Structure 1
Amino acid sequence: MEVSSGNEKYLEGAITIQPASSAVKGFTEYFLGLRPETGDGRRQKRNPWFPEYWTKMFQCQPEDFPITSPFHMNINKPCNGTESILRSEFELNTQTQYVADAVFVFAHALHQMYKVKCWPQGVTSGPCEGFLPIDGEELLLYMKNVSFKGLNGNQVAFEEDGDAPPNYKILNFRKTNSGAYGYVEVGSYNLNKLHLNADLIRFPRSSSATSPEIPTAEVADSAHNVMGKQTEYVGEKNERIESDTDIPVSICSPECPVGQVKIIQNLVCCWMCQPCQVREYLFNETTCLECPPQHKPSSDKSRCDKITIEFVSFSSIHAIITIVFATIGILLTIFIIVIYIKYSEAPAVKASARELCFILLSGVLLAYIIPFLLLLKPNLVVCAAQKFSIGIAFSLMYSALLVKTNRIARIFDSSNVKAARPMFISPSSQVVITGCLNMVEVIIVIMWFLISFPKSVVNEPSLFRLQLICENFNHFSYVLGIAYPLALLAVCTYYAIITRKIPEAFNESKYIGLTVYTTCVVWVSFFPIYFMSSDNLDIRTITLSVTCMVSASVVLACLFAPKLYMVLCKKETTLQKNNGGKLRFKTKLEAVETRNQTNCTPVAPSKSPTPIPQSCCCNCTTGQCSSDNSKLNQSAV
């Protein structure tokens, strides 16, 4: 049984080689006429295998040929002499030619050896002296030198190494025209020359066949080197598009896809494919190496490319919007400062502690400048400026608000109503207190600088994405800079709550309360957004910038807008010339007090839940008002 039997679909298209041979002329008729007991029976007795073949073929025991094979000992039926081999059941093996030629090789070698040893002795038949026993190695030398024509006319000879000259048929196992599988001769290899008819080769149909064509008649005259032998192709050109003439790939392992490395197995032609790691590139077919810092592998993993380092640019839409609003805030703050300087003697300005207002406005101005610092390309100077300005800006704002609310609370403390003027409510005292509160923030910032010196670093929030940022911008350390100002804001909120019910005429605390309440809401909203956007530099930067601007805008809108309205729009003041020829503002309260002095009519007590201190009322018995009225005037709005 052939190996291909039952495996045809797997072997279809196989190219095989076979020693070139053909049927020996007349051998079939000779073999079909053989019988164990007829003809020249003596010849069959010299061939012990033929009776065994006959026994196996017909399951009977030939006469006078006892079976000695253990495989046929159970066959006792005698042959009746009518058995014969039918031609339809007989198929001659073409390799019979080589069996016969091999016998002739021995015969020619023995004959030549006999001629050399016996003929000189005058012996032409039968053994001579020195011929027997035959030396096998000596006989091998004679066998290598034989040369004769075989049964089929082919030349039989041996090469120097003892091998027979290569003479092979090239076969293609495929479906024949009848639809059955079989071998079709498509070429030969003889006398070290290859002859191949490409048009006869067929492979299984495959839609993925994309292999190159076998050279055809166009190169028939060209000599090619195949294993050092001359090669010749014959045939005609044919189209090979998804047909059975496409050449299949015959390899152990396919080439690895792009970005994968070969893991060599036991054989150099067999491997497994394994992708390089995400940060590695393909150094060669079998090695992956990691890319240097700030580099990433290319799309085909063949090299490492430098990663572009990002930083917030002034050209982005978020930055442009932030810059526009910050610029408007700076201009508006400068406008308010100019108004406060021009109308510094206005009662609304004087009564609101103008010195603290200037400190507060400086903090607001710095808060509007912070977005510009956040949008600059990070370096040592920029990072230091960011680190310093964020804490100082809000410290200036909230310390001034705290001192203002504390001053109002102490003046209108109903549980401590005295005729004496409260301590440290003068403008200079307020400025000193505010300065001391800000010095605490300065000390905190200096210590922060010493612990973590400002510098720019390259951050990698996600794979192959690099951002140039200030080191402290990437974690919670910015909270250190604003922790103290937020503590001031908390205390300020407390004072705003306890002073919310002061008399109607002294309602600056209501505006301060509105300011701090709104500011608290802004900061409560800031922290979740800021810390949840750690992987997005633009959002984090814009969030901090917007928080600074909104906090500053709340102060301008809730605290300074009403005062600008009173100074510029509402004419609640009277003007009079003083002795120096200068204009002097006189509040309505002072006008009323003047009338009280003239008419000696007591000032009606306030109906507010928080009583006005008695020291602020006129003393009609003496016709003069108490000197503590200045405290009232400075607190009036």
Structure 2
Amino acid sequence: MQTMTFAITEINQRSDLLPHLKLGFHIRDSCDDIPVSLRAALLLVNGQPEIGTSVENNQEKNNSYNLGCAAIQSTVSPVIIGDAASGVSMALLRSLGSFHIPLVSYFASCSCLSNQKEFPTFMRSMPSDAFQIRALARLVSYFGWTWVGVIGVESDYARFAIQLFLQESVQYGVCAAYTHFYPVVLSQQALDELLDVIQMSSSKVIINFSGESEMKGILRQVRRRNITGLQWIASEAWATAKSLWETFGDLLAGTLGFAIQRADVIPGLKEHLAGLNYQDRLPCKGTEDLNDVYSSYSDVTQLRVSYNVYKAVYVVAHALQDMSNCVVGQGPFLNGSCADPKNVKPWQLVHYMKGANFSALGERVSFDQNGDPIAYYDLMNWQRMPDGSLHLVKVGFYDASSPSGRSLVINDSVIQWPASRSVCSDSCPQGSRVTRRKGEPICCFDCVPCAEGEVSNTTDSLDCSRCSEDTWPNKARDLCIPKTIEFLSYHELMGIVLCVVSVLGACISLSILVIFFTHKDTPLVRANNMELSFLLLVFLAVCFLVGLLFIGEPSDWLCRIRYPAFGISFALCISCLLAKTAVVLMAFRSTLPGSRVMKWFGPNQQRASVLFGTAVQVIICVVWLLTSPPHANNNTDYSSTIIIECVTGSEAGFWCVLGYIGILACMCFLMAFLARKLPDNFNEAKFITFSMLIFFAVWVTFIPVYVSTAGKYTVAVHIFAILASAFGLLFCIFVPKCYIIIVKPEKNSKKNMMQR
């Protein structure tokens, strides 16, 4: 009220604003009561009281006033500044609507009042709750409070505010643990119901849309029940209510709230307040100097509501100034007419007020199409000073005129906290995803680890993303890392062992070849088909060395060499054995009278049989290479590994090669088995029989193992089968002969050979 009188006095003393007009005012106390407000408003707009200035000293009831401002020549107020309460303002607007009396509120923030169709004459210097609600939703989201309690007094202000908050908070992932309305007059039963809701909830953050009088009753019960650790979020109605601190400071430390914009200073207001004398105020004498004492009345450090009153008065003044500057014929009304500022009509004043655009104490004041000012809030934090007093610290701000991503600015480092977090469910860490709980709010959820092959690199991720074919999740499943490249390498232990064994087998084969060549004139070597033995040893050495082609990183050319080399080398070996077995059978058959068999199976025929047996395998391999050859392939089907492997290209080609070797081996085994008991001290047939049994055992075992293994182990199994079967042939056929040649040379004689 005093700020209004000061502003009017200031305007009347200015020469640059309304130099030909003087403003007067009537003041009525609304008592924050609708019937009282209506009666006072009707007195103002009907011209009572008489010309002059009057103040009804009914200030003890409530600090909310209807403020009227009019030209001093008129007894009718063409504009009302007030009320503070949204509900009272709505009642006044509905009652005064037919008079088109503009109402400028300095503290009514309900977003419902922005409806210009319903309230066309309403304006305010207080931002709409729609902006405060956006700021509150951003605030709780900023601190990760996804589980908050929302309470409010049973009023239009709180109902609309809570409804807006519930709508706005959804897009930020914030859920209301509960919403509860309580009556303006708080009975013990109403307080018990409210406190039961607060205590039963797991939420520690409470947003309260109320005034300070209701807050006192709530805090009194909170203390009685010894509820601690609550993080209060204040609406602008009590965000700077210092009177609460005196009694409940221990419960309110750390409170956060958006307060309406503060004026750093209104020049002259402090002096105006200090210069007032009050009569009939015992025990004061009425002559005290207010400069000598401190009181919240004379504290001008938090000029927020007062600043809104100051701006509201200046809106009227600037509207009248714009009206005075109107040029006849260019006016906004019918036929370009202008309004008479000395006999102003309310509807004319409304037009100019809505177009007001001026600067007040360095701030630009203007209004949108709903009669709302640009919203700006200070984020205040209630902090305890060392002496126990309250320090309202500005820790951020919300500027609705800034881009949405930068509208809220917070300085976390200076905030004092009573509690740190309030969530229904803990955040899902990276590497997991959110799964909703059926029938519960979206803030209540479970965390499920990402499935195999998927990652999430943000907290509270709704979905996990699948890694690309050549990457795989790390252990935490929050990052895709390159898959391990796998192939049988010369640098790993298994590759080294197989390489050494292959070379060793080739060396043993060549060493035996040297021994046989050195003793080529001995009966034992000569009696066992020396030429085929030499060829077999060479081919066995090749078989051992073929195993080396399966080690190392596969490439297309290597894949196209290894399989044909494997098939042809074994075809050579088995063909030689087949020829040797056939020679044994033919030799004994040729001893029968009149037999001419050996004539048809001499050295040339033996060589031809080896070539023929091998030629079939060569043809199979050539057809395979020409139709669908083997090639290198990066196999990404496995979890964390990319297997570089040789694929056969044609499965039929691979199994034909393997099957042909099996056919040769079966023929060799059959002939050797038939010749195993022929009378010869060094009959090779029985050794060939044993070698074929080992050969079959190796390759029959190889097939299921080969099919069931993967990666480098498949290659290792293949090499093992090659080496095992080659060693079986080498040891079964040649080791007994080497034993006689080296250890028992006396048995290597024609006499010993011919005993049977």
| SS in structure 1 at match of 2:717 | helix
Cross-structure match for 1:141? 101
Tell me which structure has the larger Cα radius of gyration.
1
| SS in structure 2 at match of 1:395 | helix
Cross-structure match for 1:171? 215
Cross-structure match for 2:600? 424
CA distance in 2, matches of 1:334, 1:143: 113
CA distance in 1, matches of 2:232, 2:466: 54
Residues 227-278 of structure 1 deviation map (CA, whole Å, 9 limit, x = unaligned): 559x9xxxxx9997xxxx4255278x975542467899xxx99798898765
| SS in structure 2 at match of 1:546 | helix
Match of 1:350 among 526, 534, 540: 526
Match of 1:200 among 248, 251, 256: 251
CA distance in 2, matches of 1:263, 1:591: 88
Structure 1 residue runs of 5 or longer lacking an equivalent are 1-94, 123-134, 147-159, 204-212, 232-236, 575-585, 593-605, 607-637
Pair 1:389-2:552 in alignment: no
Match of 2:745 among 571, 577, 589: 571
Deviation at 1:168, TM superposition (A): 2.8
CA distance in 2, matches of 1:566, 1:513: 20
Counterpart mapping for 1:116-515 below 5 A: 136-137=96-97, 139=99, 141=101, 161=122, 168-169=211-212, 171=215, 173=218, 175-179=221-225, 189=236, 193=240, 195=242, 197=245, 199-201=250-252, 216-217=383-384, 220=391, 222-227=393-398, 245-246=418-419, 248-249=421-422, 256-259=428-431, 278-280=452-454, 290-297=466-473, 304-413=480-589, 418-472=594-648, 478-505=654-681, 507-515=683-691
Deviation at 1:398, TM superposition (A): 0.8
Normalising by structure 1, report the TM-score. 0.57
Deviation at 1:145, TM superposition (A): 10
Pick closer, same or farther for the CA change 1:191–1:355 going to 2, 3 Å: closer
Cross-structure match for 2:149? none
CA distance in 1, matches of 2:233, 2:602: 117
Pair 1:549-2:509 in alignment: no
Match of 2:750 among 581, 584, 587: 587
Deviation at 1:111, TM superposition (A): 5.1
| SS in structure 1 at match of 2:211 | strand
Q: CA RMSD in A?
A: 4.9
| SS in structure 2 at match of 1:463 | coil
CA distance in 2, matches of 1:425, 1:224: 107
CA distance in 2, matches of 1:502, 1:305: 67
Residues 454-497 of structure 1 deviation map (CA, whole Å, 9 limit, x = unaligned): 32111135223211111129968543322211111101111111
CA contact (8 A) 1:171 1:187 kept: no
Structure 2 residue runs of 5 or longer lacking an equivalent are 1-29, 52-69, 76-94, 107-120, 128-209, 255-379, 401-407, 409-413
| SS in structure 1 at match of 2:642 | strand
| SS in structure 2 at match of 1:109 | helix
Cross-structure match for 1:109? 44
CA contact (8 A) 1:109 1:143 kept: no
CA contact (8 A) 1:187 1:194 kept: no
| SS in structure 2 at match of 1:505 | coil
Deviation at 1:572, TM superposition (A): 4.4
Deviation at 1:310, TM superposition (A): 1.1
Deviation at 1:305, TM superposition (A): 2.9
CA distance in 1, matches of 2:381, 2:718: 71
Residues 284-312 of structure 1 deviation map (CA, whole Å, 9 limit, x = unaligned): 86776554431234566665432232111
Pick closer, same or farther for the CA change 1:238–1:452 going to 2, 3 Å: closer
CA contact (8 A) 1:394 1:482 kept: no
CA distance in 1, matches of 2:600, 2:688: 20
Pick closer, same or farther for the CA change 1:354–1:590 going to 2, 3 Å: closer
CA contact (8 A) 1:263 1:271 kept: no
Deviation at 1:435, TM superposition (A): 1.1
Deviation at 1:193, TM superposition (A): 5.0
| SS in structure 2 at match of 1:314 | coil
Pick closer, same or farther for the CA change 1:530–1:473 going to 2, 3 Å: farther
CA contact (8 A) 2:567 2:617 kept: yes
CA contact (8 A) 1:261 1:282 kept: yes
Normalising by structure 2, report the TM-score. 0.49
Pick closer, same or farther for the CA change 1:215–1:192 going to 2, 3 Å: closer
CA distance in 1, matches of 2:123, 2:238: 16
CA contact (8 A) 2:456 2:478 kept: yes
Pick closer, same or farther for the CA change 1:374–1:180 going to 2, 3 Å: closer
| SS in structure 1 at match of 2:47 | helix
Question: 2:430 corresponds to which letter in structure 1?
Answer: V
Pick closer, same or farther for the CA change 1:419–1:192 going to 2, 3 Å: closer
Pick closer, same or farther for the CA change 1:276–1:215 going to 2, 3 Å: farther
Pick closer, same or farther for the CA change 1:223–1:333 going to 2, 3 Å: same
Pick closer, same or farther for the CA change 1:193–1:549 going to 2, 3 Å: same
Identity percentage over the alignment? 21
CA distance in 1, matches of 2:542, 2:494: 20
Counterpart mapping for 1:32-71 below 5 A: none
Cross-structure match for 1:600? none
CA distance in 1, matches of 2:498, 2:753: 46
| SS in structure 2 at match of 1:545 | helix
CA contact (8 A) 1:367 1:390 kept: yes
CA contact (8 A) 2:629 2:649 kept: no
Deviation at 1:404, TM superposition (A): 1.2
Residues 377-404 of structure 1 deviation map (CA, whole Å, 9 limit, x = unaligned): 1112321221122111211111111111
Deviation at 1:530, TM superposition (A): 1.8
| SS in structure 2 at match of 1:500 | coil
CA distance in 2, matches of 1:238, 1:433: 96
Pick closer, same or farther for the CA change 1:352–1:415 going to 2, 3 Å: closer
Question: 1:512 corresponds to which letter in structure 2?
Answer: I
Pick closer, same or farther for the CA change 1:161–1:571 going to 2, 3 Å: same
Question: 1:223 corresponds to which letter in structure 2?
Answer: K
